[in-house]
Structure 1
């Protein structure tokens, strides 16, 4: 990158085709985990994924800002020789996609916001639903782990499992998926999480819906799992504010490619096909 940071990225599909699809993973502070999503649309357009700076294979030390992460995506599009791209952002990645649109509207051919953005209005409902899905003993253990100033690898994995198992519609499979993710999506950059979280609370996207509505491409949609603990009502509010379509996937939580891969794949392929014109 222009500041000498090194970003790990990979591509799937015919990279000579334009525009490409760029998958933006969530967190903030996690490495890329959207490897199961890329093949769903790679036959229609090349798909790029990358570890955001400070995560996974993109080792970096420094202060995190939305402006820096937006510049990273712009520079990557230059590297990929992509004047425009179709952005698909998951969870926090949806927030990043919207902030990129605010800064570089001319470079976005289409944008799909999957299970995000998280709005301030939706946080109380999310916390309440997560608590409802968690036993008192699990809540107590989670608080104990969060209070530790230093955690072992096993304690970190246990903490993440307790955070993530409520994300899924199926509680039994949800525990397995969360435990697997807790080992794979590591290490978590907690400093990045805190810094971008604080900036997001100071400048929430929910206050910029009018500005966003003016700069988003015509092909903009939201998609969410009905069983996501993050309330679908919050996504409905964003969709109304932006004047865009919201697709609800029954029987799916925060990671619909796990519980409803066929349904999600059909929606993604329809969206990308419409966006790239074929």
Structure 2
């Protein structure tokens, strides 16, 4: 990047084809985890993924801000020789995609927002649903781990597993996926998570929705899991405000491709085919 940061990226498919798809992972503070999703559409368009600065194999020490992350994506498109791209964001990646669309609408060919962005007063419902899905002992243990000034490696894995298993519709399989993710999506950049979270609360996307609607590409959609602890009603409200279609994936949570891979694959393929004209 222009400030000297080194970002790790990867591409799948024929990169001579335009426009490509760029997948934006969530967090903030996690490395890229969308490697299981990219092959669903790589025969239709090349798929680029990258570790956001400060995560995975993109080392970075310094303060994080949303504008720098938006600039990173623009500079990556330049490095790839891509005038415009189809953006597919997940979770926090939907916030990044939306902010990029506000700053560079001419570089967004189409945009699919999966399981986000969540606007309005959604956090109360999210907290209540997560607590409902946990036992009293699990809630107590999670609070104790969060309050610990330092955690061992195993305690960090335990904390993440407890925090993430409620993302899924099926609690048993959800525990397995969360435990797996707790070991693979590491290390978590907690400083990045905190800094970008504070910035988002100070300048919420809610206040930019009119501009976002005006800058959206001709093809833009929302997708969410019906059993995501984050209330689907918040996505429905956003879809109404942005005049976008919302696809609801039944029997799935925050990572719907894990619980309903066929449904997600089918939707992604229809979206990308429409976006790139294949």
Work out the CA distance in 2 between the residues paired with 1:121 and 1:109.
Answer: 30
**Higher alpha-carbon deviation: 116-125 or 237-246:** 116-125
Tell me the CA shift for residue 11 of structure 1: 0.2
C-alpha distance in structure 2 between counterparts of 1:23 and 1:206, whole Å: 23
Matched residue, 2:154: 154
Q: Corresponding residue for 1:79?
A: 79
Q: Is the Cα–Cα contact under 8 Å of residues 120 and 234 in structure 2 kept in the other structure?
A: no
Tell me the equivalent position of 2:249.
Answer: 249
Distance in 2, Cα, partners of 1:92 & 1:120: 15
Q: How far did residue 118 of structure 1 move?
A: 2.4
Question: Equivalents in 2 of 1:122, 1:95: separation in Å?
Answer: 15
Distance 1:119 1:244 in 2: 15
Q: Tell me what 1:212 maps to.
A: 212
Residue in 2 that maps onto 1:31 = 31
Q: What is the SS of the residue equivalent to 1:35? A: helix
Alignment partner, residue 188 of structure 1: 188
CA distance in 2, matches of 1:65, 1:142: 28
CA contact (8 A) 1:30 1:188 kept: yes
Contact 1:95 1:117 in 2 (8 A): yes
CA deviations 1:85-133 (Å, max 9, x no partner) are 0000000000000000000000000000000112242111111101110
Report the counterpart of residue 133 of structure 1 in structure 2: 133
Residue 266 of structure 2 is aligned to residue 272 of structure 1: no
Distance in 1, matches of 2:119 and 2:134, equals: 22
**How many residues in Structure 1 have an aligned counterpart in Structure 2?**
278
Q: Is the deviation greater in 114-123 or in 179-188? A: 114-123
Residue 230 of structure 1 is matched in structure 2 by 230
Could you state the TM-score of these two structures normalised by the residue count of structure 2? 0.99
C-alpha displacement at 1:208, in angstroms?
1.4
The 4+ residue runs of structure 1 with deviation greater than 6 A are none
Structure 1 distance, partners of 2:161, 2:119, is: 23
1:178 corresponds to 2:181? no
The alpha carbon displacement at 1:269 in A equals 0.4
In the TM superposition, 1:42-57 aligns within 5 A as 42-57=42-57
Q: CA-to-partner distance for each residue in 1:243-269, whole Å, 9 max, x for gaps?
A: 000000001100011000010000000
Equivalent-residue separation in structure 2 for 1:217 and 1:120 (angstroms): 23
Q: Using the alignment, how far apart are the partners of 1:73 and 1:93 within structure 2?
A: 11
Structure 1 CA distance, aligned partners of 2:118 and 2:188?
19
Whether contact under 8 Å (2:23, 2:89) holds in the other structure is yes
Q: What does residue 19 of structure 1 align with?
A: 19
Partner Cα separation in structure 2 for residue 247 and residue 203 of structure 1: 27
Structure 2: 5+ residue stretches without partners: none
Q: CA deviation at 1:194?
A: 0.3
The TM-score normalised by the length of structure 1 is 0.99
- Superposed displacement of residue 209, structure 1: 1.1
